[in-house]
Structure 1
Amino acid sequence: MYYGALLQPWNNEGIVIRNEVPLDTHKMVLFAGGTGSGKTQSIITQLGLLIKEGVRDITLCDFKGIDFQFLNGYRKYYSGDFAFDGIMAFYEEFTQARHGGTVDKQHHILIVDEYPSLLTYFQTKDKADRTKRANDIMSAISEMLMLGRGLNYGVWISCQRASSSWFENGSRDNFQVICALGRLSKEQRQMLFSGEDFDANIRIYGPGTGLCLADGRELVEVQFPLISDLANWKEHIRQELMTSGELSTV
């Protein structure tokens, strides 16, 4: 598995050196970046790479219901309000695996797009409905971030700002790969890469370009490649996932 290519060799010499990070040991991934950062396309790129790695159990929760619509009909694609159901269904599978005491060799990946927006929405609804779905989501995500790796359950989160308030019990520290794309404020860099050394000059990154930190590795500048035929890439992902299970009945 790799997360983009190292920026400097690519820019200076035209040599592409992949930012290789093994999926077996790095299952918890955070993508951060504002509007126009290239975050969504980078995740779609990584989704295709998961397929190439042989991963077929992927639950994708697309709260906005826009960027991943191409997966509509896949039984583990959840959009809008159904994103809550997708997270809790994945959490139930994780809980069963944990209590069962056996480790499945297959990778199980949950991808939650625009996580803070999802939580904010359910926090508002919880006040009106007297429910606690936002708390349920945060508790489930926190537990899986802390305990999922050994059971081959991974959590990928996408957000514009990865505030610690969205992750209970300090669970944000359990991300093993952090990719921050696009323009990064000083506050964001300190939030995500505390303790890392930065150049005195603040670099402004373009879409699909930014910083990546993986456990046990140095902080690196990366660039995610542009997919020349995005429609074909999406269709390949869709076909591979659709053949892994029945169509959705929702």
Structure 2
Amino acid sequence: MFIYLFLLSLPFTLLSISFLYLVYARSPDKFIWAALAAAVFAFCGAIISFAVYKRSDNHNGFFTRVKHRQLLARMIIDNKLYLTKNRNRNNPRQKIIYFPKVYYHYKELIITVRFPMDLQKNQDKFNRIGEQLEQALFADLFDIVDEKGFKAYKLINDPIQNRIDITDIKPNSKEIELMHGFTWDYNKFPHALISGVTGGGKTYFIQALLKSFIDLGADCYICDPKMSDLSQLDQVPILEEKVFSSTGQINKCVREFYEQMVDRQKEYKELLRKAGEIGKDYRNFNMQPKVLFFDEYVAHMSNLDFKEQEKTLGYLKQIILLGRQLGFFLVAGMQRPDAKYFEDGMRDQFGLRVSLGQMSRSGYIMMFGESDKNFKVQSDEVRGWGYASIGGAYVRAFFAPFVPSEFSFYNYLLNKDEPSQLSGQSRKAIAERGRGTPSEAARAKSGGRS
């Protein structure tokens, strides 16, 4: 640090000395005043240099990258991850005969460190260095890539800086951005499993996903057995008669959601037959996506008897297995992903898995499976933090979209006349087919209004 500050303040120091020299050469009697002015100038230069250094360090600028390279060099030297040999028999001093070529790259908060895979002595250490990199660089490891001759570790430097506001989410027909550089392709990796401790931000994150799908023009249904914040949305016109809280209502909603999917499957097969093509999904036929938001799923299941549990699990299992191509999606929220209610690998079928707040090691295993991820704890002042994985990829740190205090989710939906991205062509196609559900036909005829 002191070396950097010295280099930054060096121009101010040289200018001060030059100024003193010129004053002394021309007017020696004014030297004292000139010295005071030069001292003030040099002091101001030191303050400016310190401010520049701190800003660069705090905002992951040039000096952050320099420090990272220094840490990597020290790691190699201090751990003796190089090869040496004696210079000769009479000289016990050693010389380095092999020093690993480690490549460091930094771009848009993404750090990539490449270690050589060249069968040298320390290759095994380079294969297991991910956790050390996280700690040393104060970054989050989110991917490990095997490249030709190298193993690349990809980390996010200070991941909270990639957090976005809920108002910044701009979904499209393919994906939803959850953080800068972290998007969920819900058609490729369908369904979301969200777990979180009380106060961890689970409900706010579900609201962010609900907002995104409504903006996309999706037909959304909400099940909230604990009658918490989501149950209050039943007064919003766009969600009228689509919010359920009682056990009977929720069971009926799940069954009818499944039946809608079965009806669409028949229609989809007929449209495929007429088109004479394969490899298409609901988007190719302008079908409206449908999303079932099921908060506190485990709490609801625990209140059912065995027969009702079997029925509900059967419906949800079919939705999870068949929904992607037909445009039917499930977003399930719970405090703990109990394996009892996710039989036959159902949990592995969720494309997006998010845990919010601090969980036990067993909780992380239930959520993400066995992982060598080093799960760290954030400050109590940080809300909506946790870990996420898409498509079974490496678990990474996650910060849910931030909800400003002035943002009212209820008012946002209340002022929303119609799904913004449900095109006129889609509404017309739904109406002309005449075989959609009553809600589809009503939405199409009314121009998208619920």
Structure 1 and Structure 2 fold alike (TM over 0.5): yes
Looking at both structures, which has the greater relative contact order when contacts are Cα pairs under 8 Å and sequence separation is at least 6? 1
Q: Displacement of 1:210 after TM fit?
A: 0.5
Deviation string 1:4-55 (CA, Å, 9 cap, x unpaired) is xx99658478454242112222221000112111111111122112223x13
Structure 1 residue 236: Cα displacement: 1.7
**Could you say which residue in structure 2 is the equivalent of 1:80?**
246
Aligned partner of 2:301: which letter? L
* Structure 1 residue 118, shift from structure 2 partner: 0.4
Equivalent residue letter for 2:354: C
Shift of 1:237: 2.5
Give the aligned partner of residue 122 of structure 1. 304
Contact 2:160 / 2:399 at 8 angstroms: preserved in 1? no
> Is the Cα–Cα contact under 8 Å of residues 29 and 177 in structure 1 kept in the other structure?
yes
Distance 1:237 1:19, change over 3 A: farther
CA contact (8 A) 2:234 2:243 kept: yes
User: Over aligned residue pairs, what C-alpha RMSD do you find?
Assistant: 2.6
Structure 1 residues 230 and 196: alpha-carbon distance in aligned structure 2, compared to 1, 3 A threshold: farther
Mark the CA change 1:218 to 1:72 in structure 2 (over 3 Å): closer, same or farther: same
Match of 1:225 in 2: 401
Q: Does 1:50 align with 2:213?
A: yes
Q: Give the counterpart letter for 1:223 in structure 2.
A: F
> Post-superposition shift, 1:89?
1.3
In structure 1, the gaps of 5 or more residues are: 1-5, 127-131
Among candidates 38, 45, 52, match of residue 201 of structure 2: 38
1:22 aligns with 2:185: yes
Unaligned runs of 5+ in 2: 1-109, 111-138, 141-155, 164-179, 272-280, 420-438, 443-450
> Is 1:235 aligned with 2:411?
yes
SS of residue matched to 1:173 = helix
Q: Find the aligned partners of 1:179 and 1:113 in 2 and give their Cα distance.
A: 14
How much does 1:243 deviate?
Answer: 4.6
Which of 56, 61, 65 in structure 1 is aligned with 2:227? 65
Q: Does 1:104 align with 2:282?
A: yes
Identity of matched residues, %: 21
Distance 2:160 2:191 in 1: 32
Mapped partners of 1:62, 1:213: distance in 2: 25
**How far apart, in 2, do the equivalents of 1:51 and 1:108 lie?**
10
Deviations 1:201-242 (A, max 9, x none): x422453110100016432101113311465332223443x7
In the alignment, structure 1 residue 156 sits paired with structure 2 residue 331: yes
CA contact (8 A) 1:141 1:167 kept: no
3-state SS, counterpart of residue 156 of structure 1 = strand
Q: Could you say what secondary structure the match of 2:345 adopts?
A: helix
Task: Identify the match of residue 89 of structure 1 among 250, 256, 261.
Answer: 256
TM-score (norm 2): 0.47
> What is the distance in 2 between the residues matched to 1:204 and 1:13?
13
Residue 167 of structure 1 deviates from its aligned partner by: 1.8
Is the CA contact 1:109–1:154 (under 8 Å) kept in the aligned structure 2? yes
In structure 2, C-alpha distance between the alignment counterparts of 1:75 and 1:18, rounded to whole Å = 36
Matched, 1:203 2:369: no
- Is the Cα contact below 8 Å between 1:77 and 1:86 reproduced in 2? no
The structure-2 alpha-carbon separation of the partners of 1:243 and 1:196, relative to structure 1 and needing over 3 Å to count, comes to same
Aligned-partner SS, 1:184: coil
> Aligned letter for 1:23?
Y
Distance in 1, matches of 2:210 and 2:217, equals: 9
Structure 2 CA distance for aligned equivalents of residues 43 and 12 of structure 1: 21
Query: Any idea what SS the aligned residue of 1:165 has?
Result: helix
Residue aligned with 1:169, SS: coil
The structural deviation recorded for 1:155 is 0.7
Q: 2:355 aligns with which of 151, 176, 180?
A: 180
Larger radius of gyration: 2
Match of 2:145 in 1: none
| Residues 164 and 170, structure 1, Cα contact 8 Å, conserved in 2 | no
Q: Tell me which residue corresponds to 2:30.
A: none
Aligned with 2:250: secondary structure? helix
Q: Distance in 2 between matches of 1:133 and 1:153?
A: 22
TM-score of the aligned structures, taking structure 1 as reference length? 0.81
Q: Distance in 1 between matches of 2:157 and 2:203?
A: 22
Are the structure 2 counterparts of residues 26 and 230 from structure 1 closer, same or farther at C-alpha, using a change threshold of 3 Å? farther
